[in-house]
């Protein structure tokens, strides 16, 4: 496992920010665009969780260069995409010896939500609500992988924004990260949306365009998730089938030692 020497400044956003800022229609973005260490928080929240434990990103592609400032490759990848999105062949991270698990979150959505999503009639808050309505289908696996992964753990979907945003918000909330810090992490995706859309369109030119109203990362969308989790995110997860031991083990993995004293 390789650690790059150019350390990423915590809280400064995605590690491929230069590529994101300079991409043009004729210049495909090389490397993950929406990648960041979800534990590299700003201000007082930086003392609450460890960095180098939980990464989030858009979908890795074959040939992506090693990102700057992160311990890489991750020890475990949790891929939240559906089988049709993943396509044929192994996950690109397997080539580096990374353990890959699949958790197709959207497969748990209610049929009416799926129909409205395909018809571009669902908003992001409604989509996130739908994912949380079905949390008992995917949440126990999320916490199991987070609790027992060989780290760092990379969680990703296609854009690293919606399914990943919900999953990472849950993991951070269970670790008692303040809601404003979770919101700030989610909103960071807005800094790279043009390059992210371009990378996805270049990688999958024949897929239908995503409706414009689903491309943003709005505050009210992640607010829906945090409101649903309420004042006791760990209890909310336990009520949906998560093993309490996995919650405690995850907390011990991401909390610094001083958190326990």
Number of Cβ within a 10 Å radius of residue 12: 14
To the nearest 10°, the Cα dihedral for 138, 13, 28, 84? 0
Where do the domains of the chain lie? 29-202+210-255
pLDDT of residue 28: 52
| Helices vs strands, H then E, count in the chain | 11, 7
- Alpha helices, DSSP H, located in the chain: 17-22, 83-86, 111-118, 124-133, 135-148, 163-174, 179-187, 193-203, 219-229, 233-238, 244-254
| Rounded-to-integer distance, Cα 78 and Cα 75, Å | 10
pLDDT of residue 150: 87
The percent of residues above 70 in pLDDT, for the chain, comes to: 87
Q: Is 39 helix (H, G, I), strand (E, B) or coil?
A: coil
Label residue 54 exposed, middle or buried (CB < 10 Å: 0-12, 13-18, 19+).
Answer: buried
Q: Which residue has the tokens 């897929």?
A: 207
The residue that leads in pLDDT, 6 or 132, is 132
Instruction: Read off the pLDDT of each residue in 114-120 and give the average, rounded to a whole number.
Output: 89
Q: Evaluate if residue 142 carries a pLDDT over 50.
A: yes
Mean pLDDT of the chain: 88
Cα dist. 233→38, 182, 238 in Å?
18, 13, 9
| Rounded-to-integer distance, Cα 42 and Cα 202, Å | 33
pLDDT of residue 159: 95
Q: Evaluate if residue 57 carries a pLDDT over 60.
A: yes
Reported CATH class of domain 29-202+210-255: alpha beta
The residue that leads in pLDDT, 260 or 118, is 118
pLDDT bracket for residue 6 (50, 70, 90): very low
- Please list the active-site residues: 157
pLDDT bracket for residue 260 (50, 70, 90): low
The residue that leads in pLDDT, 259 or 201, is 201
pLDDT of residue 35: 97
Per-residue model confidence as pLDDT tens digits over 61-109: 999 999 999 999 999 999 999 998 998 889 999 999 999 999 999 999 9
Side-chain half-sphere of 143: how many Cα atoms within 13 Å?
Answer: 30
The two structure tokens encoding residue 190: 């807005």
**Phi and psi at residue 22, to the nearest 5°:** -105, 0
Per-residue model confidence as pLDDT tens digits over 9-53: 434 466 654 444 444 444 555 799 999 999 998 888 888 999 999
Among 171, 169, 257, 151, smallest CA distance to 219 is for 169
Give the Cα-Cα-Cα angle 155, 157, 162 (nearest 5 degrees). 100
pTM for the model: 0.89
Rg (CA), the chain: 17
């Amino acid at each position: 496992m390789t650690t790059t020497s150019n350390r990423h400044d915590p809280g400064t956003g995605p590690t491929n920010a230069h590529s994101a800022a300079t991409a043009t229609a004729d210049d495909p973005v090389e490397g993950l665009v929406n990648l960041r260490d979800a534990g590299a928080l700003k201000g007082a929240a930086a003392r609450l969780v460890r960095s180098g434990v939980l990464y989030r990103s858009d979908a890795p592609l074959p040939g992506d260069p090693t990102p700057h400032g992160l311990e890489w490759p991750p020890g475990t990848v949790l891929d939240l995409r559906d089988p049709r999105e993943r396509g044929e062949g192994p996950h690109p991270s397997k080539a580096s010896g990374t353990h890959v698990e699949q958790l197709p979150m959207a497969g748990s959505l209610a049929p009416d939500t799926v129909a409205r999503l395909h018809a571009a009639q669902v908003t992001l808050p409604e989509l996130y609500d739908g994912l949380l309505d079905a949390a008992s289908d995917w949440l126990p696996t999320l916490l199991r992988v987070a609790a027992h992964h060989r780290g760092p753990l990379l969680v990703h979907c296609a854009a690293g924004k919606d399914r990943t945003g919900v999953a990472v918000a849950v993991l951070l909330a269970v670790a008692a990260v303040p809601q404003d810090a979770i919101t700030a992490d989610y909103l960071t995706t807005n800094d790279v949306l043009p390059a992210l859309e371009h990378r996805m369109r270049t990688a999958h030119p024949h897929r239908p365009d995503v409706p414009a109203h689903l491309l943003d990362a709005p505050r009210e969308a992640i607010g829906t998730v945090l409101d649903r989790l309420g004042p006791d995110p760990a209890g909310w997860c336990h009520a949906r089938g998560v093993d309490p031991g996995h919650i405690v083990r995850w907390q011990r993995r991401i909390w610094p030692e001083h958190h326990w004293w």
